[in-house]
Amino acid sequence: MIVLLRHGETFWNREGRIQGHMESDLTPLGERQAAAMAGLAADLVRRDGRGDWRLVASPIGRAQRTAGIVAAATGLAIETDARLAEISCGAWEGKLRADIAHLHPEKFATREWFFGAPGGETFEDVAARAADWLASLPPEPGRRVIAVSHGVWGRLARGLYAGLDRQATLNQDVPQDAVYRLQDGQIDRFDCEPVL
């Protein structure tokens, strides 16, 4: 089983800035979202009843902060794995999405825009990292890991797990207030209670 969650809201999420590998702290709402997701993850671990769980997170600060909240709720130590890092958006990182969309409307007409940044990663780059991480896990039913990552990475990891095509992969939601359970070829979404 994989329990997958995205980091809570950041100040740059709120501003509409492209983050990629750059840092932005969680907002107060993001902290509450992380706590709510941590509670759901801890509940899934308790319901499973096995003690061999791992907690793995992207090295980027917003994921590390969210993982810290999950660690406090579950009692698990955080392992850091660079393969869980968000897509690099190259020259667009730190810029307002609206400004870049205005300059490149053709790229922003679909969810493919993430892969159009000068000096950034491609779909294939991120998918290769996600596939490598998934392949490194023990087979089911022995797999027990909580993964804290990012929007684009999480989309691609879920798409690979479910065998989705590229468009279906990119059309998936990337909530900051839900937890996904990947188990036995199925993906289940657990929404948090609304936090304000």
What pairing do the DSSP bridges indicate for beta strands 2-6 and 78-80?
Answer: unpaired
d(CA 99, CA 23): 19
| Burial environment of residue 87 by CB neighbours within 10 A (0 to 12, 13 to 18, 19 or more) | buried
Q: Which secondary structure element, helix H or strand E, spans residue 43, and what is its range?
A: helix 28-48
Identify whether 86 is a catalytic site residue.
yes
CB atoms within 10 A of CB 67: 27
d(CA 76, CA 122): 33
Joined tokens for residue 102: 């205005």
| Active-site annotation holder among 86, 93, 121, 150 | 86
The residues annotated with a catalytic role in the active site are 7, 86
